[in-house]
Structure 1
Amino acid sequence: MLLLGGNLGDRAAVLAAARSRIAAAVGPLLLVSREYETEPWGAFADGEKRQPFMNQAVVAETDAAPEEVLDIIQQIERELGRPEHRPEYGAAGERIYRCRTIDIDILFYDSEIIDTERLKVPHPRFAERLFALEPAAEIRPGYVHPGLKISLKELFNSILLGDSQ
């Protein structure tokens, strides 16, 4: 399962282009959530106007290995106007985010748990991010998070009710 998002340019058109390229390069899309408009999450670089994001979850069928999928989606990001990026951190150690045309994250890869230098799956901050959880729960409510051992629907409901994770 992948999460697509962006807050620059024609967001719907960029998501459509990303879906098309994922289907061509990763594999056919089996499930596609609706598009969700959400407020930016986290600390953004000073001076950046924080436009709302448009996010969408998709499930693709693929024979590609997880790191191959990562390579493909990073290439798609570049093709759709996202510059090369390295994590940035503020004085207090907090992650600093920047506006972008597209961001594609691997949320899940089947039920695998992957922890390499390049790739962490499930996405390590998935359960903190309603903008990722809501579209994922829409298309795969019964999917059990391999690390938390709870369904996406249950996880989504617990966050809506304010339960701590």
Structure 2
Amino acid sequence: MATAYLSLGSNSGDRLQHLKGAIRNIEKSEKISIEKISSVYETQPVGFENQRWFLNLALEVQTSFEPLPLLEYLLAIEDQMGRKREERWGPRNIDADILFYDDRIMDSDRLTIPHPRMHQRRFILMPLAQIAPQLLHPALKKSAGELLESCEDKSTVILYSEKI
């Protein structure tokens, strides 16, 4: 079993229910066990800012999926939950990203691990550092806590709920 870290986000409809639904769908697989769930954070949109704020959280999972099948599983959950991919950085009812997969470094046309912009995004680092502050980025050689401390992104990230 591999340890993977995932990021979930939602900024349309009932955001909290979308996050809960994504977690329920992730748990349906016999190949994934959720080990830790961060608090839920309300976060300022990045990229396309004229939209509703997001709710974000991070998960630590144990999985027997390899990285690409894990990505396919997450994309299928997004599709099943009605995710529309009409606008880059646009509104979405659910977004699921793989942040880390063990200490693997991978760069393909479909998937880059670790997530290529995570160290620049406070909305990813805040929940990740909450559940895994010592987790080491295999390329940058900094922990999640150190990445959060040095992150230049000053967008607003507010604790929304301690538990999902």
TM-score w.r.t. the length of structure 2 is: 0.85
In the alignment, structure 1 residue 3 sits paired with structure 2 residue 7? yes
| Long gaps (5+) in structure 2 | 155-164
Q: Secondary structure at the match of 1:40?
A: coil
Q: 2: CA distance between counterparts of 1:57 and 1:154?
A: 17
Per-residue displacement from partner, 1:8-50 (whole Å, max 9, x unpaired)? 0111111011011112225110010000000100135xxxx51
Residue identity over aligned pairs, in percent, reads 40
Aligned to 2:131: 139
Residue 123 of structure 2 aligns with an amino acid whose one-letter code is: F
In the alignment, structure 1 residue 38 sits paired with structure 2 residue 37? no
In the alignment, structure 1 residue 107 sits paired with structure 2 residue 99? yes
Aligned pairs, number: 149
In the TM superposition, 1:27-106 aligns within 5 A as: 27-43=32-48, 50-83=51-84, 85=85, 96-106=88-98
Q: 1: CA distance between counterparts of 2:153 and 2:68?
A: 35
Residue 51 of structure 1 aligns with an amino acid whose one-letter code is: R
Q: 2: CA distance between counterparts of 1:82 and 1:38?
A: 19
Aligned to 2:157: none
Moved over 3 A (4+): none
Aligned to 1:126: 118
Per-residue displacement from partner, 1:90-130 (whole Å, max 9, x unpaired)? xxxxxx42101000000000110010110000000001100
Aligned to 1:15: 19
TM-score w.r.t. the length of structure 1 is: 0.85
Residue 24 of structure 2 aligns with an amino acid whose one-letter code is: S
Q: 2: CA distance between counterparts of 1:128 and 1:159?
A: 6
Q: 2: CA distance between counterparts of 1:28 and 1:144?
A: 21
Residue 28 of structure 2 aligns with an amino acid whose one-letter code is: A
Q: Secondary structure at the match of 2:63?
A: coil
Quote the RMSD (CA, aligned, Å).
1.8
Residue 58 of structure 2 aligns with an amino acid whose one-letter code is: A
| Long gaps (5+) in structure 1 | 89-95
Report 1 or 2 for greater relative contact order, CA contacts < 8 Å, sequence distance ≥ 6: 2
Deviation at 1:157, TM superposition (A): 1.4
